[in-house]
Every structure is written in structure tokens, then in C-alpha cells.
Amino acid sequence: MAENQPRLLRGRILSFKRQPMNATDTEAFHYLEDGCLLMEGGVITAMGEFANLNSSLPPDTEIVDHRPHLICAGFIDPHLHFPQVQVIASWAEQLLDWLNDYTFPAEQKFADKSHGQRIASGFYDALIDNGTTTAVAYCSSHPNSVNAYFEEAETRGMRMLGGKTMMDRNAPEELCDTAQTSYDDSKALLEKWHGRGRALYAITPRFAITSTPEQLEAAGALLKEHPDCHLQTHINENHNEISFTRELYPDAKDYLGIYEDYGLLGSNTLLGHCIHMNDRELGVMKETDSVAVFCPTSNLFLGSGLFNKAQLEGTGIRTGIATDIGGGTNYSLLRTLDEGYKVLQLQRQRLHPFETHYWATLGNAKALSLSGKIGNLEVGTEADVTVLDAAATPATALRMETVTTLAEELFLLQTLGDDRSIRETYVAGRPMKTRN
């Protein structure tokens, strides 16, 4: 097929328009039993009933029949770590032990760009195999790592966000930069990659423990100079982390107060975890429109605590849900939704499958302030698409024999689905799941 040849996907179309209010809120999404999606030049140019669009297609259109599968927006992962591909599934006590024993040694290897390039290939394969078309990643503290990450994204035409991890203390010397070099390196990488093709840069101080006040000041200066960039960091994940942070910043009001003091909060700020939040912190997050990112599999794996979605969203805070590879234990957003559902069940916050699937698509796009570009299948959005097969395995095929509603199908996908449930992943209109 020619690069710019129109491609029509036929199947059952599901695309969210807004967050569902309850189990009966079918007005929150488009659902077409025999629908189709026309993709041209990397964007969606038509969506509707197949019978209505079929007669007016461009003459050279390729028609791909995905019936009876479900055609949805590509999944979005707003928090994960590119250099941690080889430390996923490593046993440790808690967060700080895990960082010192596994993460920091693994990250040192990314000084070698050839290592980063090899890992990037496998990393992107894993994302695509699991239906993820956009992610926000921490790279290592080496510029080589960032270049390897974005070069691979550019080769595949993916909309990806990421940045050099800034850290100038409480880490091995081989990983530490300085306040000035972290600013200089980040600025150079930002100027090289931000807005180039589909790439977006995220200013990335790891967390307050590994950044001096001078480095957080430098990160704040970068954000002020480039307010259209995202900023990502961690907060209130683990009690030992919080205690150590308060020792390092004894004059701060609280953990969030540190980031507040250095101008790191705003509508493009992604705060990973947000488990142990106090009332003042919730109020400041609301006022600054900062985003809380839920990482259920890593929170459970490291024993960090339970994310309180009702409390955060009840305060008016935007939330996202993410895999957090490699503290997280699976690249699949379906597996992540399943674990997130269980975390919230423990707190009597029961989620309907409409809500969870919204979260992994349009909800995460809204958390990134990118819902005009990704996260739904509206005309004019980028043609990132996932095709879901709820009967992909013998076990799910047996269960599908008794499924009678869309909600039941989505819940089955969420509960038993994995990379095998992803029939195809389209990036900018191109099929990319090479292992099919």
C-alpha cells in the first residue's frame, strides 16, 4: 500500500466523547455496530456507518475488515520509565531499595547510545503489541538515552513524550548531573525534539530526593521559558520516601509545597502516584490544575498504598492511569485497568467498564491536554487506533459466548485481556503490530 493511500477500517466503532457519568450514560460515546473509520495522511477524515460511507470513498481506498472486533482509540500511557525495561519483575523490599538495587545500575548503561537504541526497539515493540500508541516516559540522565528514545519514536511515527531525568544527588555519581548541566542538557534536548514531528518534550526532575533546591529551580526556569512543555515528577508514593523528602526540605509546607515553591505546578504537570496526599496538597493541585497519575501495578508491587480516585476527582483534580514500567508489572493498559479496578474496589469505589476504558483513552488524553489530537476517533484527530478482540484466547472465547452487552465485553477485555487481545495497532493510520 502506498504511504498516503486512504485506508478504511470496518468493524464495531467505539469512541468516547466525554467521561461517562454512570453505567447507563451511553451518550458519553459513539458506538456503531457496523461502522467504519477512514484514515488519510495520518489523520481520521471520516467516521460513520459503513453503509453510508462505503459509496463515497476515494477510488484507491484500501478496505480492512476487522469485523467482529472493536475499533477504538489507541491506548495512552502517561507515566513509565524507558530505562527500566530490564528491571521489571525484580524483587525488592520497597521503593527506595528498588531504586538503589535495580534501577540506578540499569540506568547507568544508557550512557552508551547503542544500548539505548537496542532497548528502544524492544520497548516500542512492547507498547505497540499492547495497543499503546502514546506514552510519557522518563529517560535516563544521559542525553544519549533521550535521543535513542525519540529517534525510535520518529522512525515509527508515534506521538511520544519524554525527557532527560534531572538528578544531582542521592544517586550514583555516574548518574548525577548538576543543576547547571541538567538545565543545559534539557534545554538542548528540548530545542531539538519538542514539536519535531509528533514528539513533545517533558521536563523531568525525578523527584525531590534526587534534586537539590538549585536543580528544582533550574527545572522551574525551564518550564517558565517553555510553558507549552510538560513536566513530570513523582510525589507521595511511599512513607519512607515522604519522610526522607521532608528531611531534605524541612522548611517546605509539605511534599507538594516543594514543587509549588519552585514553580513546577500547572496544567501540564504530571505528578506520579499521589497516594498519601493531605488536604492542602489537594487544594493546591486543584488551583494549579496539576494532574495526578495512578500507577496501580507498581503501587501494589512495591506495597506503596492505595490511590484514592474519588478523593482526587471529588476535589476537581484531573487523573490519569499508567503502567509505570518497570516498578509496574505489565505493559498492558488492559492489565493495568484490571489492577486499578481492584485497588478502587478495596475502597468501595466501584468503576464501570465504560469509565475504565474512557480512562485509558480520552481520559488520559485529557490528562495530557491532548484530547484534540489523540484519545478519540473524531474527524481531524490523529489516526492512532487499537483493534480489540475479546475472544482472542480459548478462555475469553468461552466467556464471550455468554456476553450480550458492550459493557460486559469491555469488562471481559479488562479482566482477562492482554497483548493477545490486541488484534492490530495503527499508528498515524499504519498497521504496526508486527507480531500478528
User: For residue 4, how many other CB atoms are within 10 A of its CB?
Assistant: 10
Give the pLDDT confidence score for residue 25 in this predicted structure: 93
- Please report, as a single letter, which amino acid is at residue 427: V
CA distance 186 to 20: 39
Give the pLDDT confidence score for residue 103 in this predicted structure: 86
CA distance 13 to 35: 6
Write 282-287 long-range contacts (CB < 8 A, 24+).
282/311, 282/312, 282/315, 282/317, 283/315, 284/256, 284/257, 284/260, 285/256, 285/312, 285/315, 285/317, 286/315, 286/316, 286/317
Which residue reads 520518529 in cell numbers?
154
The CA–CA distances, whole Å, from 167 to 109, 208, 267 equal 16, 9, 23
Contacts of residue 142, Cβ cutoff 8 Å, sequence gap at least 6: 110, 111, 116, 164
Give the pLDDT confidence score for residue 98 in this predicted structure: 73
Give the pLDDT confidence score for residue 55 in this predicted structure: 86
**Which of 381, 377, 385, 396 lies closest to 424 in space, CA to CA?**
385
* DSSP H/E element including 166: strand 165-166
Identify whether the C-beta of residue 235 lies closer than 8 Å to the C-beta of residue 199.
no
With a cut of 50, list the residues of the chain below it in pLDDT.
Answer: 1, 436
Which residue reads 479496578 in cell numbers?
341
Residues β-bridged to residue 31: 14
Identify whether the C-beta of residue 381 lies closer than 8 Å to the C-beta of residue 372.
yes
Identify whether the C-beta of residue 151 lies closer than 8 Å to the C-beta of residue 80.
no
CA distance 212 to 264: 14
Contacts of residue 394, Cβ cutoff 8 Å, sequence gap at least 6: none
The CA–CA distances, whole Å, from 70 to 9, 202, 421 equal 11, 32, 10
Q: Which DSSP state fits 102?
A: I
Cell of residue 334, nine digits:
488492559
* pTM for this prediction: 0.97
Give the pLDDT confidence score for residue 264 in this predicted structure: 98
Instruction: Compute φ and ψ for 197, nearest 5 degrees.
Output: 60, -120
Question: Buried b / exposed e across 152-171, counting CB within 10 Å, b at 16+?
Answer: bbeebbbbbbbbbbbbbebb
